[in-house]
Amino acid sequence: MESAAVPQVGVVAFVITGKSILLGKRRSVATANNVFAPPGGHLEFGESFEECAAREVKEETGLDIEKIEFLTVTNNVFLDQPKPAHYVTVFMRSVLADPTQVPKNIEPEKCEGWDWYDWKNLPNPLFAPLEKMVRSGFNPFPSE
């Protein structure tokens, strides 16, 4: 069986500050080319969702996060990619462990850079699962 036929598990971390989230413009990632997306990646064997979110954020941005909690899960089939893919994507919410940290672009071959974007004024184009969530009225921020 070809690996593209097997669903993969991705973990995406909404790193929030105020009413903004951290997004990067992705380069040539299997399901996200030239789109804005939060940090995230594949769940590794034996890893919790929280551990995966913290690891991916650290690997991609150099940031340490805390208060990592589950938000939602989406089922995404990407048929129009060069290589069709099926991802179950777990969305987590977190905050910076130290609010003075500044994101670094640790993987420039995968991302053009990271920045904070106001939830009501997100850049385009968005990563397809994120765009679908935004359109549905999803809100990653804690209720006040």
Number of domains in the chain: 1
Reading the block at residue 118, the tokens are 């106001």
Residue 47 within a domain: yes
Residue 117 within a domain: yes
Label residue 33 by pLDDT band (50, 70, 90).
confident
Residue 141 within a domain: no
Consecutive H or E run containing 49: helix 49-61
pTM of the model: 0.90
Instruction: State which amino acid sits at residue 78.
Output: F
Query: For residue range 101-137, what is the model confidence (pLDDT) as tens digits?
Result: 999 999 999 999 999 999 999 999 998 889 989 999 9
Q: Using CA atoms, how far apart are residues 23 and 13, in angstroms rounded to an integer?
A: 10
Structural domain harbouring 49: 3-135
86, 7 contact by CB (below 8 A): yes
Q: What are the distances in angstroms from CA 96 to CA 30, 61, 67, 99, 113?
A: 27, 11, 9, 5, 18
